[in-house]
Structure 1
Amino acid sequence: MIDATKRQTALFALSLLDLTDLTETCTDEAVERLCDAAQTRFGTAAAICIWPRFVAAARARLGPSSPVRIATVVNFPHGTAAVADVVAETERAIAEGADEIDLVIPYRALIAGDEQAVTEMVAAVRAAAPAPVRLKAILETGEIRDRALIRRASLLSIGAGADFIKTSTGKAAVHATLEAADIMLTAIRETGRNVGFKPAGGVDTVADARLYLALAATIHGPDWVMPSTFRFGASGLLADILTLAEGRDAGAVAASHGP
């Protein structure tokens, strides 16, 4: 049996989870299974995160009053689409039932020195997705790499109206890291705004999740983390959450099945 603290962390992580399927082979049936998986006997995930073409199917599956939010991605994954195209994609997704928009900022333009491209993109999508739609800006920190530029991307996105800043698409070679998380969480604190943080990609276990939760608590205080200020973007984390929620130890389960 696992200890109570591990189980409590697992259940808390469930409430913060954006359960994700952004695979190239995703289907309507896979999205329906994702919707069902997000609703567990221990509680629900905060959201599912899917391609825009599946939003209508997810809304039909979840219904109009589900506590599970529908997040979708725009300007994804490379961040190179025209502003007008991204706005149109955003408006269509909201019309079909999306509650949250995860926007890839034009990070390549930022790396090349064009800060205005980031501000214009985030502001335009913010205008197309007014509250209560939640806007998450994906920085793709594994591609930006430079600490000062990650901080700048964070501040630009927040200044242009993002509700969250998110590390990664999960499509680059480097996903979420604690170093990037530290920079981004500190930038949020510096602004004094009620903006959330989402590590995405590479958070596969509750032990991984615990490290990010501890970092957020160190920077923002123990009561800051909640679904409105913190999400995990992950596809594999749910399995470990459920293992621990059921009172089983993940290591013991793996050992019992052999190599």
Structure 2
Amino acid sequence: MTTQPTRAELARIIDHTLLSPETTAADVAALAARAKDLGTWSICVSPAMLPLDGVDLGQVHTCTVCGFPSGKHTATTKAAEAAESVRLGADEVDMVINIGLLRAGLDEDLTAEIAAVRAAVPAPALLLKVIIESAALTDDEIVRACRAAEAAGADFVKTSTGFHPAGGASVHAVELMAATVGGRLGVKASGGIRDYATACAMIEAGATRLGVSATEKILAGAPED
């Protein structure tokens, strides 16, 4: 993809996201209808909103989250949550890592945690994205988190939940993540992306997927097909 994609091109790498705690089934139905109109890759919703009974998604995929937003759940709990989401119709699962394992230097434990969720989200039919909360990490920790995700068989590394006080995606973090995974994994930029220029900057840095809630505003800035 070019670094200045058309509206349709950009839509096809967007996870149209609604993860607010107060979200209702009616909100999700409206989200899905708009995603279908816009041509986004997926909608990303909380596990409690699944299954999407009666929701017409067309070609739009279903993404959900796991261990969200803190990541401070046991590996067993995360795996069980992911397995239930898959049973309820999720195509993709974005899991939050336990950052404490990373900061404590317990990289093998972190890899095992991701691998447990990977087992519940079978490849290659379903995708697993690993949220590392990059704004809260040092460069060394970002690299190690990406290596753990790759070693555990993840499909993507993802910058952020969008809920951490340290912030969301940054161009620097996306560049570092993309360099570390070297095209073997996708890179999802999420958190704080609210306009077309920022979306383009993330793509130029190496993002292959974007998680955004301001989808309509972002796409409004893109050139027509």
What amino acid sits opposite 2:132 in the alignment? L
The equivalent of 1:183 in structure 2 is 176
What amino acid sits opposite 1:136 in the alignment? K
Please point out which of 40, 48, 53 is paired with 1:45. Answer: 40
1:244 is displaced (CA, Å) by: 4.2
The equivalent of 2:94 in structure 1 is 102
Q: CA RMSD in A?
A: 1.9
CA–CA distance in structure 1, aligned partners of residues 199 and 222 of structure 2: 13
The equivalent of 1:61 in structure 2 is 55
CA–CA distance in structure 2, aligned partners of residues 37 and 187 of structure 1: 35
Please point out which of 236, 243, 246 is paired with 2:214. Answer: 236
Q: Is residue 203–residue 237 contact of structure 1 (8 Å, CA) maintained in 2?
A: no
User: Bigger shift: 127-136 or 236-245?
Assistant: 236-245
What amino acid sits opposite 2:217 in the alignment? A
CA–CA distance in structure 2, aligned partners of residues 51 and 117 of structure 1: 26
Q: What do the CA deviations read for 1:28-73 (whole angstroms, capped 9, x no partner)?
A: 1111111011012xx510011110011212x53036xx32111100
Please point out which of 156, 163, 170 is paired with 2:155. Answer: 163
The equivalent of 1:123 in structure 2 is 115
Partner SS state of residue 24, structure 1? coil
1:246 is displaced (CA, Å) by: 6.6
Rg larger in 1 or in 2?
1
What amino acid sits opposite 1:11 in the alignment? A
CA–CA distance in structure 2, aligned partners of residues 172 and 231 of structure 1: 20
Partner SS state of residue 190, structure 2? coil
Q: What do the CA deviations read for 1:223-251 (whole angstroms, capped 9, x no partner)?
A: xx7xxxx210000132230464679xxxx
Does residue 12 of the first structure (1) align with residue 42 of the second (2)? no
Q: What do the CA deviations read for 1:108-146 (whole angstroms, capped 9, x no partner)?
A: 2211222122111110111111121100000001112x1
Does residue 214 of the first structure (1) align with residue 214 of the second (2)? no
Q: Is residue 19–residue 238 contact of structure 1 (8 Å, CA) maintained in 2?
A: no
CA–CA distance in structure 1, aligned partners of residues 203 and 139 of structure 2: 21
The equivalent of 1:72 in structure 2 is 64
Structure 1: gaps spanning 5 or more residues: 217-224, 248-259
CA–CA distance in structure 1, aligned partners of residues 217 and 26 of structure 2: 19
What amino acid sits opposite 1:233 in the alignment? G
What amino acid sits opposite 2:209 in the alignment? R
Q: What do the CA deviations read for 1:91-112 (whole angstroms, capped 9, x no partner)?
A: 1101110000000011122112
What is the TM-score with the length of structure 2 in the denominator?
Answer: 0.92
Aligned residues: 221
Q: Is residue 91–residue 129 contact of structure 1 (8 Å, CA) maintained in 2?
A: yes
Q: Is residue 206–residue 237 contact of structure 1 (8 Å, CA) maintained in 2?
A: no
Q: Is residue 169–residue 193 contact of structure 2 (8 Å, CA) maintained in 1?
A: yes
What amino acid sits opposite 1:60 in the alignment? G
Higher helix content, 1 or 2: 1
What amino acid sits opposite 1:210 in the alignment? C
The equivalent of 2:193 in structure 1 is 203
The equivalent of 1:221 in structure 2 is none
* Alignment CA distance shift 1:181-1:244 (3 Å): closer
CA–CA distance in structure 1, aligned partners of residues 112 and 54 of structure 2: 33
Partner SS state of residue 233, structure 1? strand
Does residue 136 of the first structure (1) align with residue 114 of the second (2)? no
The equivalent of 2:80 in structure 1 is 88
